[in-house]
Chains A and B, each alone.
Chain A
Amino acid sequence: DAKTTQPTSMDCAEGRAANLPCNHSTISGNEYVYWYRQIHSQGPQYIIHGLKNNETNEMASLIITEDRKSSTLILPHATLRDTAVYYCIVRVYTDKLIFGTGTRLQVFP
């Protein structure tokens, strides 16, 4: 599975969009990009995933660059409850998730 690089931490004002970047320059053609988050010590929560096209669901949007070497998770209107560690994971048809250190997002009032 390809390695990902994420900033260690980010801040975002409540109500603003939070844009979390992820670099995965060694991604291969059949690897998906997944995003999970972990709030405090709760279980990781699935957010969204995609292969090539941009994806949107009720939680977030995922923008994948055309060359697929990077992606951005967008939380359109961040709230205090979005404060968490966000993990970007790329995986092919293997079942395990390999978690890196993620980005600690702090949403402030």
Chain B
Amino acid sequence: DSGVTQTPKHLITATGQRVTLRCSPRSGDLSVYWYQQSLDQGLQFLIQYYNGEERAKGNILERFSAQQFPDLHSELNLSSLELGDSALYFCASSPQGGNQPQHFGDGTRLSIL
């Protein structure tokens, strides 16, 4: 158990819809990261938050957004969903970032019908 909690574990929805994925980091971790894993793209970094502020951005689509709340949990919002957004979405956390290891949750499997 990594200590990172992601909900829901599975999500099935239709094209055009909007969903919210939730992540609770390990106790004491200030940095939260979001990654997407699809069959054709592998694991890709989306975005990082540190203590409530956006710190780094990767290949995140404009239809996607994230935020980190004062209690340090984070949400990833995906809107106008397309079939290609079907993927596993992982959240990871680390104490402060930099060279400290990131610890991953078990992911949310998103299926778009």
Question: B104 — nearest CB in chain A belongs to which residue?
Answer: A43
Q: Is the interface of B mostly helix, strand, loop or mixed?
A: strand
Most chain B beta-carbon neighbours within 10 Å: one of A32, A43, A46, A97: A43
* A8 close to chain B: CB less than 8 A: no
Contact B107 A43 (CB under 8 A): yes
B107-A95 in contact (CB<8A)? no
Task: Please measure, in the bound complex, the distance between the C-alpha atom of A41 and the C-alpha atom of B45, giving whole angstroms.
Answer: 17
Range, interface on chain A: 20 to 34
> Is A95 a contact partner of B43 (Cβ separation < 8 A)?
no
Which residues does chain B contribute within 8 Å of A41, judged by CB atoms?
37, 88, 107, 109
With A43-B105, A44-B104, A45-B2 in contact, do A95 and B42 touch (Cβ < 8 Å)? no
Q: Name the A residues within 8 Å of B28 (CB-CB).
A: none
Chain A residues at the B interface, C-beta cutoff of 8 Å: 32, 34, 38, 41-46, 49, 87, 91, 93-101
Query: Footprint of A on B, CB under 8 Å?
Result: 2, 4, 31, 33, 35, 37, 42-45, 48, 55-56, 58, 88, 90, 92, 97-99, 101-107, 109
